Copies of this chain bind each other. A is one copy, B any other.
Amino acid sequence: MTGVFFAGYPLDRASAKRSDVGFLAAAQVDPDARLLLLQGGKPFVAAPNGPRGPREIAWLSAGAAPSLAGTDATVLFLGLDAASAPHFAVEAPKDRDLAGDDGLLAGLGDFEELRGIGPMLTASDAALIGAAKAVVDWHARHGFCAVCGAKTEPASAGWKRTCPDCGAEHFPRVDPVAIMLPVKGERCLLGRQGRFPKGMYSALAGFVEPGETIAEACAREIAEEVGLTVIASRLVADQPWPFPSQLMIGLIAEVMDEAVTLDPEEIEETIWITREEARSLIHGPIEKGGARIWSPPPMAIAHTLLKAWAEG
């Protein structure tokens, strides 16, 4: 499997420690313990070389979590680094001005959209922010018990929620998605959804449903979206994708013919490109049929798939 963005989590998740109350209490006030702060899902990052330069997590002291995010905030245990320093993440309430001129963190960094700064992060910072953002988003959308409707409570250092009424346990959700490049000989198919920016074409994708293998989901989505029949498919790479929390499973799928029948609800337009065009497209926009077309950046597994196919 090929390397992908958002992979390469640099910490030991030390999941056995998540239920160790004594360890967690000590770890949160450990002077070496570091805190990743988020607000509205945006990580708090620094730009040491100015606004066009690389970003890095602006680590804070874990002991500051209550004053930054409130004493009720769920402090998520991210794990231990090689020196056994504990790392945490916490989401600050949206209405607090923390990074502004009068804020507690003025001058130390900014809250920035992960999608925007992705390419400016190191791989390990991207993996940490991705994991933290996915779990923080999940808490924000899972305050109530799906079984009985009661308010739930965070547990296991942020890796679980429990229902005090019915006893149900709820774990952060990860949705498996099949994402695939249909290919026929020396050509591959890209598609665009109506919501994509102008000129952007990507791989096809859809959620794996109950009762499906990955290859079955791949074949179904290709049949539904573009009306093509898959002969064979192979897994190329997989990627955790924190928008909000998918496991993207990337395939290259050989299809029977090239006559596309679009589902206009899903795909606005498709385009067959040659392997040579794909080799150009992974480096930037190309001209095709009088239009300028481009494909997702290296951060996205669609890029990994296109590159894997283009390079043979």
Point out residues on A near B: beta carbons under 8 Å: 1, 4, 6-7, 9, 13, 15-16, 127-128, 130-132, 134-135, 138, 141-151, 159, 168, 170-176, 207-216, 220, 224, 235, 238-240, 242, 245, 247, 249, 263, 265
In Å, the complex CA distance between A121 and B138 comes to 38
The 3 lowest CB-CB distance pairs between A and B, nearest first, are A131-B211, A134-B210, A144-B149
Residues of B within 8 A of A145 (CB): 144, 146, 149
Residues of B within 8 A of A128 (CB): 211
Known: A9-B212, A211-B240, A240-B210. A149 touches B151 (CB 8 A): yes
Taking a contact as CB atoms under 8 Å apart, the answer to whether B150 and A142 are in contact is no
Residues of B within 8 A of A224 (CB): 15-16
Residues of B within 8 A of A174 (CB): 175-176, 207-210
In Å, the complex CA distance between A134 and B208 comes to 13
**Across the two chains, which residue of chain B brings its CB closest to A239?**
B213
In Å, the complex CA distance between A209 and B131 comes to 8
Q: Please, could you name 10 A-B residue pairs with CB atoms under 8 Å apart, sorted by A?
A: A16-B263, A134-B211, A144-B144, A145-B146, A145-B149, A149-B149, A174-B210, A176-B176, A210-B242, A213-B239
In Å, the complex CA distance between A235 and B220 comes to 21
| Copies held by the complex | 2
Residues of B within 8 A of A247 (CB): 176, 208, 212-214
CB A262 to nearest CB in B, in angstroms, measures 12
In Å, the complex CA distance between A207 and B144 comes to 22
Taking a contact as CB atoms under 8 Å apart, the answer to whether A211 and B146 are in contact is no
Known: A235-B235, A238-B214, A265-B16. A207 touches B171 (CB 8 A): yes
CB A56 to nearest CB in B, in angstroms, measures 18
Taking a contact as CB atoms under 8 Å apart, the answer to whether A242 and B211 are in contact is yes
CB A139 to nearest CB in B, in angstroms, measures 10
Residues of B within 8 A of A150 (CB): 149
**Across the two chains, which residue of chain B brings its CB closest to A175?**
B174
CB A138 to nearest CB in B, in angstroms, measures 7
Q: Which of A1, A171, A174 has the most CB of B within 10 A?
A: A174
Contacts A13-B220, A134-B210 aside, 18 further interface pairs with beta carbons under 8 A come to A4-B213, A9-B211, A13-B209, A16-B265, A130-B210, A130-B211, A131-B211, A135-B210, A141-B168, A143-B146, A143-B148, A143-B149, A146-B146, A171-B207, A173-B175, A210-B242, A210-B245, A213-B247
Taking a contact as CB atoms under 8 Å apart, the answer to whether A211 and B149 are in contact is no
Residues of B within 8 A of A1 (CB): 213-215, 235
**Across the two chains, which residue of chain B brings its CB closest to A172?**
B210
